[in-house]
Amino acid sequence: SLANMRVIRRNLVYAVGLPPSVANEDLLKKSDYFGQYGKISKIVLNRSNISGASATNSDGNSNRRSSASAYVTFAHKEDTLACILALDGFYLDNRNIRASYGTSKYCSAFIKSVRCNNQDCTYLHVLGENEATFTKQEIQAGYVTSGRDVLAKQQQQLVSLKGGNSGRRKVGGG
C-alpha cells in the first residue's frame, strides 16, 4: 500500500535539535546556516518542541530541552549531501544537531488516482524510485537515510564498478 510507503528525497535535509534561537526560515536560509551549502528552494520549520511543548516528568522538570526541526529543500541534491555530512553531529549552542535525508509520503489524492487540489501540497504525486522507497517501519528502523550511509554506499558502488561488477543492489537489503 502506497499509504505506508516513504520515499527518501535526495534534495531534502531533515535536521533535528535546532536551538529555538535559530528557528526562523529567513535566518536559516542565510550563508551562516543552511545557505552556505547551496541554493535553497524551501524551508519548513517545526517549532512544536519549543517552549511549553516539552514533556515534563513527575517532579515537574522538563524531560528534554526545547528545540526545533527543519525540512530544507535544496535546488541540487549534491548540496543536500554536503549539508548532511557537515551538519550531522555538529554542536550548536551545546546542542547536538542530527541531519539526514528527509522522506515524503504519497499524497492521498495520488493514492486514490484523483487530482490533488492543494497547490502547496508537499506530498508526492509521482512514484518514487525503488531504491529510495521504504515502508514507514523500515525508515523508523534506520534504513539508509543518513548522509554517511549514502556516501558509503556510493563509494561501494564506485569500487564495484571499477572492479567490473555493474550489478545494482536494492538499498536496505533484501
What was the pLDDT predicted at 24?
94
At 61 the pLDDT is 45
Q: Which residues pair with 13 in a beta bridge?
A: 72, 101
If you average pLDDT over residues 96-109, what whole number do you get? Answer: 92
pLDDT given at position 161: 75
Among 6-10, 32-36, 138-142, 159-163, which stretch is predicted with the lowest mean pLDDT? 159-163
Strands, E assignment, 23-158: 40-46, 68-74, 91-92, 95-96, 98-105, 133-135
Q: Tens of pLDDT along 52-62?
A: 544 444 444 44
Report residue 17: phi and psi, to 5°: 90, 15
Q: What percent of the chain has pLDDT over 70?
A: 76
State yes or no: pLDDT of 100 exceeds 60: yes
Q: pTM of the predicted model, to two decimals?
A: 0.74
Phi and psi at residue 69, to the nearest 5° = -125, 160
CA distances from 161 to 23, 132, 154, 167 (A): 43, 20, 10, 8
Numbers of helices and strands, H then E, in the chain: 5, 7
pLDDT, position 63: 43
pLDDT digits 0-9 by tens, 106-159: 999 999 999 999 998 889 999 998 888 888 888 777 765 566 666 676 667 777
pLDDT, position 22: 92
Q: What is the pLDDT of residue 166?
A: 43
